[in-house]
């Protein structure tokens, strides 16, 4: 079975490699954009008790209480109803950003909330405004706690790209399905995709672990 799967992968390697490239590209764009969205949303939710904080809270609640597949379908099929049309790949990136941004927001908020209150009180006693307090005192202290969890999101994003198969984005799962439909060897086709996921995620986890050790974050466990 494994030999057949390897032969199938080699025969259709162009399809699998295109799927892998699309998955990595979508995950990379999703990570960069969700970092911006998530960190900003996390800071707002931590520091604001007004309408901005409530809006972020609603956003996080929606993402955490709905399946990502529903979010993908809503963006792909729902937004055109109000005049917003995107390609399938762009829809995938937006869906990954929307979903991952909420989780990064909670990671960032939790890291900021974990800092002892005395740090904030001391900074306020020195006359620092909230912007300087966040930029110079809280965020630098929260970074070692939240960075391992945030870097781990990239691995999760790689796996989440499999849902983009439902909107016909050629990623790893869609590549396996296309190969299976052409050869009728679905078990071997999906086994090849499974091996690709395992290898890519294992390599990324190894790189993240190496980075954390060199950066001095090894004492913090990634979720």
CATH number for position 143: 1.10.3720.10
pLDDT grade for 216, boundaries at 50, 70 and 90: low
In a domain? residue 106:
yes
Would you call 30 exposed, middle or buried from its count of C-beta atoms within 10 A (0-12, 13-18, 19+)? buried
Name the phi and psi angles at 85, rounded to 5: -120, 130
Residue 214: C-alpha distances to residues 142, 153, 218 (Å): 18, 19, 8
In a domain? residue 154:
yes
Q: What is the pLDDT of residue 219?
A: 47
Token pair listed for 63: 């993402």
Determine the average pLDDT of the residues in 205-221. Answer: 68
Residue 125: C-alpha distances to residues 7, 39, 115, 190 (Å): 68, 26, 17, 60
Q: What angle do CA 64, 66, 69 make, to 5 degrees?
A: 120
Would you tell me how many other CB atoms lie within 10 Å of the CB of residue 98? 21
Question: Lowest mean pLDDT: which of 46-50, 136-140, 206-210?
Answer: 136-140
Determine the average pLDDT of the residues in 59-72. Answer: 94
Whether the predicted pLDDT of 34 surpasses 50: yes
Count of domains in the chain? 1
Domain range for 76? 17-171
């Amino acid at each position: 079975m494994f030999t057949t799967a390897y032969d199938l992968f080699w025969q259709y390697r162009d399809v699998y490699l295109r799927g892998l490239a699309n998955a990595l590209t979508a995950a990379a764009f999703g990570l960069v954009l969700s970092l911006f969205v998530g960190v900003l949303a996390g800071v707002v939710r931590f520091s604001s008790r007004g309408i901005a904080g409530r809006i972020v809270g609603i956003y996080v609640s929606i993402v955490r209480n709905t399946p990502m597949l529903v979010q993908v379908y809503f963006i792909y099929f729902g937004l055109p109803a109000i005049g917003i049309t995107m390609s399938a790949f762009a829809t995938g990136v937006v869906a990954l950003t929307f979903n991952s941004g909420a989780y990064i927001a909670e990671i960032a908020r939790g890291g900021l909330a974990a800092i002892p209150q005395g740090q904030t009180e001391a900074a306020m006693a020195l006359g620092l405004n909230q912007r300087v307090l966040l930029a110079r005192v809280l965020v630098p202290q929260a970074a070692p706690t939240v960075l391992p969890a945030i870097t781990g999101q990239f691995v999760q994003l790689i796996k989440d790209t499999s849902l983009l198969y439902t909107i016909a984005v050629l990623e790893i799962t869609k590549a396996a399905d296309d190969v299976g439909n052409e050869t009728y060897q679905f078990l071997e086709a999906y086994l090849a995709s499974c091996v690709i996921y395992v290898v890519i995620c294992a390599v990324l986890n190894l790189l993240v672990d190496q980075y954390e050790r060199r950066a001095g974050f090894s004492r913090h466990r990634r979720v």
